[in-house]
Structure 1
Amino acid sequence: MSSSTPFGIRDYRFYWVARLTSTIAQMGMVIVIGWQVYDIARETMNIRDAAFQLGLIGVVQFAPLFLLTLVSGWTADRLDRRHIARAVLALEMLCAAILGWTTWTGTIDLPILFGVAALLGVARAFAGPALGALAPNLVPREILPKAIAMSSMAWQAGAIVGPALGGILYDIFPWLAYLVSTLLFGLATLCMFAIRPVPRPVITSTGPPWRQMIDGLSYVRRNRLVLGAITLDLFAVLLGGATAMLPVYARDILQVGPEGLGPLRAAPALGATLTALYFSFRPIKTNVGTKMLAAVVVFGIATALFGLSTWLPLSLAMLALLGAADMFSVYIRQSLIQLYTPDEMRGRVSAASTLAISASNELGEARSGFTAALIGPVTAVVAGGIAAVAVTLLWSRLFPELRRARTFDVPAEAVPEKAPVASGGV
């Protein structure tokens, strides 16, 4: 299994293809769902009320993940992570098929879109911990940062192709986008079945299941570097996320329609993919914490400038820049979290990280939608970008461990001992 590159490992190649194809399918669905929700809502609502519906979609997707986080993390540490990933991909394939059928028959409406969004939230609740904890089992520790960069590149490449493909296929036949997503989820499921058994973590916790679930959150709380990295992403993207407003910008501000929504959605992923590609060949080795903080500041500034733009080329450039800055931060954050976490805790810690990421994304969409309903979409996006910069400056003070993280090498004192769950402590 020894190799100097993750692509030299057979099982990682299947994992990477599953990651790529499922992301293309997922992002193709997301853009069509967003467009359909906003378009159907605009038939009977004004801009602000329709934007509010986009916010509700974020809440509907986040609620299952919030409720299932402890269970999904514990499951990823107790069950075969491959089996969980296979079940999740099958559920997403079913969701795509339902949306395709109802779109084809003309029965698609807001309740169906919201119901499927909730199912996708359930899928994401289990996908994040299982897939996040599976990747380190497939490659040697010394090349894990490269594997994370390549995995992120697969996700970002899918986030480029997915929206563009979804927009094009929707323009041909609305149901065609969902059909292609169904087939891609099927291919991803087959790839996960091709991955051979991986070493199972040795669980040393002997307390009851509910206490073992809480143990993951307790570990995050005690490891201040992991806690700072997770919460920085949570609040920066929660406040600064602008993707929920893209249908509004495409339809009513930039006035480029659904054919322009695809490039707008793909622009952040393009910037992120180029950044991940660079890191897969030239990984960061020094001053990783300071560079992560600087990247989040750039993310906030680019978000604010996008919010002010009424010129499509400038909007695309700012979206690409914020995507590159976000990828810069994600690469460092995920490497630190994975390397600073013991394997037996990775599922539960990944669940906490997934919750934070989903909270920042889905609740960020809700925050954008609700704020846009109150003060207008442009003001909401600009204010969010400025708030992201402010949060980063505050976090650099609250968590000096982030500034002190020089390399990805883990000092012994940086990993706290496991909580004494067997004796009832947390």
Structure 2
Amino acid sequence: MGKNDPYAALRFREFNIFLGVRFAMVFAWTMQFVVIEWEVYSLTKNPLSLGIIGLVEVIPAVSLALVAGHVVDQKEKKGLLQKCILGFSVISVGLFLLTWPKITQGLSQNLVLYSIYFLVFLGGIVRAFLGPTIFALFSLLIPKKFYPNAATWSSSVWQMGAVIGPAVAGFAISLIGVHWSMCLIAACSMIAFLLLVQIPKKPILNPKIGEPMRKSLREGIRFVWNTKVILGAITLDMIAVLFGGAVALLPIFAQDILKVGAEGFGILRAAPAVGAFLIMFTSAYFPLDRKAGMKLLVAIFGFGLSIIVFGLSTWFWLSVFALFMSGATDGISMIIRQTILQLKTPDHMRGRVASVNSMFVGSSNELGAFESGLTAKLMGTVTAVVFGGCMTVATVITTGLAFPTFRKLDLREDMEENAKLD
């Protein structure tokens, strides 16, 4: 299991189970989000309603993020993750019932709509704990010297779930309908729970168990603020994703602009998956640690350009290609960012650092969905997407010029130090 072995992390059974859990949950969560987007837009035909879905999830996710980070650092990780998965499963069953015609036929449209929003809000509470718990559990399953390779696989699996879930959602809506798509989502979450059972409980690597929450939170925020590499990476990604949230408007493009229906919607959603697969199968062989800062800037710049092309395109297959490139570049960005976080974060602070990261980046997808929905309502769908892509490109250029040290960031020294551990 040498340092050049692209499959080094995959030689640990518990880590493989962890990847299965992570994929199943990301797949289920992103698929659920898309199915609900489709259902809500079908009910309202209002672009702003798509933004509201993201907003009602992101409010509790951001509000509770720091508290969740403190709890994660104080508690046993496997048990906490099991509770998160069960919470998600209950919410999925609720959405399954709300999309069942036999139940909703006697209810008003507004009651169904607001009930969906409420369950999405509860999902935001679960999500506040889910992300930091997964991030913290990661470090307990594999030796430190394999963190970079493990981060590549973990990020790739996350990216796969994040793009395959929505792609499957598009096809599932067409083939089996919204209601049974929700049933499939609930089943995926239970598969994740059963996989997690196979991982034994892990020790709590926190020398400050019982530390007051206020002091704990201050320490976590201070660490992120003082570690400029982490702060720069997550801030850059947050702004890029915030203004590049065009995928939230895909139901509008599929139904009203490109006029390709549910089948075309599935293809559009699948396009980023192909790009993500490409990154997954190549990044383990071609590590991204060398000149990581410049690679991160170039990846996000490419993401912004892809969004601009997608917004301007009136040709279906050009739109598909633009989304393919957005998936590839976003995958590179995520792998580099996760590698930075894993290498730079001490074990006893992983929950808090992950919670800050979720506030910056994890929630920016939903804020991006709200921004896209709002700007689409105000300035039109196409203009909103192009505006978001331009803002992403401008952010990258500004960051690259203003912070030359970030451009020169290289992670080889950190990898060499970790290779000496364990």
- Matching residue's letter, 1:102: L
Q: Describe the shift of the 1:110–1:203 C-alpha distance in structure 2 as closer, same or farther (beyond 3 A).
A: same
Q: Describe the shift of the 1:391–1:164 C-alpha distance in structure 2 as closer, same or farther (beyond 3 A).
A: closer
Q: For residues 125 and 144 of structure 1, what CA distance do their matches in structure 2 show?
A: 24
Task: Name the structure 2 match of 1:247.
Answer: 251
Deviations 1:294-350 (A, max 9, x none): 111111111101000111111111111011111111111110111011111111001
Task: Name the structure 2 match of 1:180.
Answer: 184
Q: For residues 297 and 77 of structure 1, what CA distance do their matches in structure 2 show?
A: 35
- Matching residue's letter, 2:39: Q
Q: Describe the shift of the 1:34–1:329 C-alpha distance in structure 2 as closer, same or farther (beyond 3 A).
A: same
Structure 2 unmatched runs, 5+: 417-422
For residues 112-261 of structure 1, the aligned pairs below 5 Å read 112-171=115-174, 172-204=176-208, 208-261=212-265
Moved more, 223-232 or 171-180: 171-180
For residues 24-103 of structure 1, the aligned pairs below 5 Å read 24-42=27-45, 50-103=46-99
Q: For residues 65 and 309 of structure 2, what CA distance do their matches in structure 1 show?
A: 34
Native 8 Å contact 2:168 2:270 kept in 1: no
What secondary structure does 1:409 align onto?
Answer: helix
Moved more, 263-272 or 335-344: 263-272
TM-aligned CA deviation for residue 206 of structure 1: 7.7
Moved more, 118-127 or 372-381: 118-127
Native 8 Å contact 1:2 1:140 kept in 2: no
- The alignment's TM-score, normalised by the length of structure 1, stands at 0.90
- Matching residue's letter, 2:257: I
TM-aligned CA deviation for residue 266 of structure 1: 2.4
TM-aligned CA deviation for residue 106 of structure 1: 4.3
Native 8 Å contact 1:224 1:399 kept in 2: no
TM-aligned CA deviation for residue 290 of structure 1: 0.8
Native 8 Å contact 2:22 2:192 kept in 1: yes
TM-aligned CA deviation for residue 88 of structure 1: 1.0
What secondary structure does 2:288 align onto?
Answer: coil
Task: Name the structure 1 match of 2:376.
Answer: 372
1:337 aligns with 2:333: no
Q: For residues 320 and 225 of structure 1, what CA distance do their matches in structure 2 show?
A: 29
TM-aligned CA deviation for residue 110 of structure 1: 1.0
Q: For residues 398 and 311 of structure 2, what CA distance do their matches in structure 1 show?
A: 23
TM-aligned CA deviation for residue 270 of structure 1: 2.3
Q: Describe the shift of the 1:387–1:164 C-alpha distance in structure 2 as closer, same or farther (beyond 3 A).
A: closer
Cα RMSD (Å): 2.0
Deviations 1:95-116 (A, max 9, x none): 1111112212342821122111
Structure 1 unmatched runs, 5+: 43-49, 413-426
Task: Name the structure 2 match of 1:298.
Answer: 302
TM-aligned CA deviation for residue 213 of structure 1: 1.6
TM-aligned CA deviation for residue 411 of structure 1: 9.8
Q: For residues 183 and 328 of structure 2, what CA distance do their matches in structure 1 show?
A: 30
Native 8 Å contact 2:292 2:336 kept in 1: yes
- Matching residue's letter, 2:205: P
Task: Name the structure 2 match of 1:416.
Answer: none
- The alignment's TM-score, normalised by the length of structure 2, stands at 0.91
Native 8 Å contact 2:132 2:355 kept in 1: yes
Aligned length: 405
What secondary structure does 1:21 align onto?
Answer: helix
Q: For residues 189 and 123 of structure 1, what CA distance do their matches in structure 2 show?
A: 15
